[in-house]
Amino acid sequence: MAVQVPSRQLFIDGEWREPILKKRLPIINPATEEIIGNIPAATAEDVELAVAAARRALSRNKGKDWAIAPGAVRAKYLRAIAAKVTERKTELAKLEAIDCGKPLDEAVWDIEDVAGCFEYYADLAEGLDAKQKAPVSLPMETFKSYVLKEPIGVVGLITPWNYPLLMATWKVAPSLAAGCTAILKPSEEVGLPPGVLNILTGLGPEAGAPLASHPDVDKIAFTGSSATGSKIMAAAAQMVKPVSLELGGKSPIIVFEDVDLDKAAEWTAFGCFWTNGQICSATSRLIVHENIAREFLDRLVKWTKNIKISDPFEEGCRLGPVVSGGQYEKVLKFISTAKSEGATILSGGVRPEHLKKGFFVEPTVITDVTTSMQIWREEVFGPVLCVKTFSTEEEALELANDTHYGLGAAVISNDLERCDRVSKNLQAGIVWVNCSQPCFCQAPWGGSKRSGFGRELGEWGLDNYLSVKQVTQYVSDEPWGWYRSPSKLEVINEKARLSFIELKYETDSNIYASSL
């Protein structure tokens, strides 16, 4: 399918413009390995322009144009963006698919979620006005207190390549709803006031690093690798700048012996191979009860062999290529290392025979894995599932929590009490019960341990971009009375002086009278 890839510039202060150093980066279709276009590569000089534009937009007309405008005003812009995204859904989905290799059906779903997310935060923006001056109950009647929620300021938003538009939306929608102005690295348009949203595409070291360390950026929100996240934290720490980080994962899926094998096998495959395995929450560590392991794995392999691997635009495609040649080599290296360490490649692990071009890897299932192996401990970011068995619930939890990451986890069982018990003991920010990977913009998203901190989506996502201000008023007519009042002292001293004069007069009069 021929897709016209538009030529774009940077978007700064309401205008499209070429990067100052005129650098551009090639776009490669991962299904064909062909260069299909290019994008501008921003550098520190462009970051300066974008941050300055965002700062001006934040304070323009004393903030009345955006930052302290009623939430209903900002909501209109967010709904306008949602409408434009919906209007161009087919075009945007095709660009997503050709850019990162995900099946077109998945890309369409992503774009629908983008529009829905902007609509959701439009509603929350409107609701912010009613929440202002929320009273705080105090133990002293002489004081009254309330809370203001204000935009945190200029925010830098750094997003990954696996969900180009959706991950950007998860940050742009709530930050704009809160009244912040933003510099996004990178993603797309709708008549916003100049400088409110600025878009910089480019490489991390040349554009992301100067954005993270810029003194005029009030907050950084980042989704990406743990290694890059730690660098952003270090840069932000120099200025005590708040950050929210959604980083890597090595999520487990626990399958107990009482499951429907087909249902569990499909969710296991979906949890690891959705988005070509290129998703930070992928449940890529299968922990299956030993009593059903052999039969379950046989069934799982049948499901994986039934997955259509093809160009993302082919009808029925369910697994496309990984994003780049570098990522392709990295995935194959993980697989070969696992094999050299003694693991068994039960299924997949190679390029599909019918696809001679493109960065395709068959969905891969690896068994005979130990907990010390690289494949068990490190994020692959590709369609690779590793397997361990367990005999008790306690052992399953121990295996599941044996990781530096804590983003997602899944438990599959017909015993809902057990699911509830296991959910409470899994060390993850997201737990799926009898499913894997569902995501809704109304629910919080984020992890623990080296998977980051802070929450995106839902009301929690909006709170990421709000600063809470306490306002407390003394309402009594009486003086506070902690110190002796200088004015009262003056009155007291004057009374004492008059009393002394009166006493002295009486004393003198008595002395005079007695002398007569």
The predicted-structure confidence for 266-281, as pLDDT tens digits, reads as follows 999 999 999 999 999 9
User: Residue with structure tokens 């348009």?
Assistant: 189
Q: Residue 433 and residue 499: Cα distance in Å, rounded?
A: 85
Hey, which residues are catalytic here? 246
Residue 106 C-beta-side C-alpha neighbours within 13 Å:
28
Mean pLDDT of 363-385: 98
Q: Where are the alpha helices (DSSP H) in 60-181?
A: 71-87, 89-100, 104-131, 164-178
Q: Residue 262 and residue 391: Cα distance in Å, rounded?
A: 21
Residues 446-482 have pLDDT tens digits of 999 999 999 999 999 999 999 999 999 999 999 998 8
What pTM, to 2 d.p., does this model score? 0.91
Query: Per-domain residue ranges for the chain?
Result: 26-246+465-470, 252-440
- What does the pLDDT read at residue 499? 64
Q: Residue 158 and residue 44: Cα distance in Å, rounded?
A: 15
- pLDDT value at 495 more than 70: no
Residues 226-262 have pLDDT tens digits of 889 999 999 888 999 999 999 999 999 999 999 999 9
- pLDDT value at 4 more than 90: no
Q: Which CATH architecture has domain 252-440?
A: 3-Layer(aba) Sandwich (3.40)
Q: Which CATH architecture has domain 26-246+465-470?
A: 3-Layer(aba) Sandwich (3.40)
Q: Residue 344 and residue 341: Cα distance in Å, rounded?
A: 9
Res. 193 pLDDT band, cuts 50 70 90: confident
What are 236's two structure tokens?
């932000």
Would you say 404 and 451 are in contact if contact means Cβ atoms under 8 Å apart?
A: no
- pLDDT value at 6 more than 70: yes
- What does the pLDDT read at residue 371? 98
Average pLDDT, the chain: 93
Q: Residue 477 and residue 315: Cα distance in Å, rounded?
A: 76
Return the SS3 of 346. Answer: strand
Residues 22-58 have pLDDT tens digits of 999 999 999 999 999 999 999 999 999 999 999 999 9
Sign of CA dihedral 65, 70, 75, 78: positive
- pLDDT value at 503 more than 70: no
Res. 285 pLDDT band, cuts 50 70 90: very high
- What does the pLDDT read at residue 485? 80
- What does the pLDDT read at residue 487? 74
Residues 327-371 have pLDDT tens digits of 999 999 999 999 999 999 999 999 999 999 999 999 999 999 999
Res. 2 pLDDT band, cuts 50 70 90: low
Give the burial class of 194: count Cβ atoms within 10 A of its Cβ; 0-12 exposed, 13-18 middle, 19 or more buried. Answer: middle
Residues 110-153 have pLDDT tens digits of 999 999 999 999 999 999 999 999 999 999 999 999 999 999 99
